[in-house]
Amino acid sequence: MSNVWLRIKSLARRATAVVVILIGFLAITEFTLGAIYHWQPLSATYFETFEEPPHFRLRANVSAMQLFEQPVRVTTNSEGLRIVPGAPEGAGVVIHVIGDSQVFGSGLSDDQTIPSRLQVILGSQFKVINHGLPATGPFYYAQEMSEIDAADWVVCIQSEMNDMEDSYSPLSQTCSRCGTLLTDSAEGRALPCFIMRSYSFHLALNLWDRFADRRQPLPLDFNPRAPVAATVLARRIHDLFQPQVQLRGNHLIFGLVPWDGLIVPARRREYSPAVDQPRRLVEWTDDLKIEDVFRQDADRESLFLKNDPHLSARGAEIAAAVVAGEFLKRYHER
């Protein structure tokens, strides 16, 4: 009996030692990574749950840092919209820029986003508002448009990367937790915030992504296995926007941020299924043709963030110039 008791005690001692060693190892890893990343948060801290679709929004009056390629500052105003530095309060003409993370400017600082660069180009005669909200799609865009004054200008910039897939359902597959966005799942909801924010957890996720060959889904309009889905969803998107097209006419401008794999062929290997010669299966409503400008660029790789399909500061600057050109053309044609 005493032998068994001794064995149990010995096992418990060993288990405790293993746990202590593990905790120590994790603490050292966490400390080292924190020092490497200058203690900047790796995940967003500026989202909150909201009762209306898409059931999350930006928190109002936030000024937060987040580390992408470099630390970026994300600031929101009292209405829970990302600020556009230098946007004048009393300007007579208001331009609302609607979109997802490409318009919001994921990975970019407040002054580098498309709406911010557009404001700089257009000057103080116009006021640009950033309605970009990550992880949204055409259902959100249509909803936002319907709440904007009919006299105002609206620029809707769609994202080829995921907007078609986002239009499968008005119900978002994303939820807000601990200030960040994650896929709505039981595991995600159960994860404690301190783990979600830890550097070790992010490192583990990155390693998992790298070794598990988790390639991103090919945009639906290029997926040769889904021509019917692309056609039906393109029609759905078209129908969603029709009431606003009729209401706003010339005051509504549509644009499309092209899929990064289309502009930078080397990036196609990050997508599944693999396509060598991508062929767009359906056409988007696109007044801006940002793609044409991107294709002519001498340094296409620099138009997007590294290892990320979002526009870089340079890409956003060029896209803003295209938006400004089309807007001014229409504005002077009135």
Closest separation in Å from C-beta 170 to another protein: 10
The only residue of 61, 124, 125, 231 in contact with another protein, by rule CB under 8 A: 231
Of residues 233-272, those binding another protein (CB under 8 A): 235-236, 271-272
Please say which residue, 11 or 35, places its beta carbon nearer to another protein: 11
Nearer to another protein, 123 or 273 (CB): 273
Q: Is 226 in the site for another protein (CB under 8 A)?
A: yes
Q: How many residues does the chain have?
A: 334
Contact 145, 98 (CB under 8 A): yes
What is the DSSP secondary-structure string of 161-217?
TTHHHHTT-SS-SEEEETTEEEE--HHHHHS-HHHHT-HHHHHHHHHHHHHTT-PEE
Q: Residue 15: what residue type?
A: A
Closest to another protein by CB, 93 or 229: 229
Nearest CB to another protein, comparing residues 282 and 311 = 282
Residue 223 is a binding residue for another protein (CB under 8 A): yes
Q: For the chain, how far is it from start to end, CA to CA, in angstroms?
A: 95
- Residue 273 preceded by cis peptide, ω within 30: yes
- Residue-wise over 199-221: b if at least 16 C-beta within 10 A, else e? bbbbeeeeeeeeeeeeeeebbbb
**Within positions 119 to 178, which residues make up the interface with another protein, using CB under 8 A?**
164-165, 168-169
Interaction of residue 318 with another protein, rule CB under 8 A: no
Distance of alpha carbon 21 from alpha carbon 328, whole angstroms? 64
- The answer to whether residue 24 forms part of the interface with another protein (CB under 8 A) is no
275 binding another protein? (CB under 8 A)? no
Using CB under 8 A, which of the segments 37-45, 174-182, 194-202, 229-237 binds another protein? 229-237
Residues 183-222, interacting with another protein (CB under 8 A):
215-218, 220
Task: List contacts with another protein (CB under 8 A).
Answer: 164-165, 168-169, 215-218, 220, 223-232, 235-236, 271-273
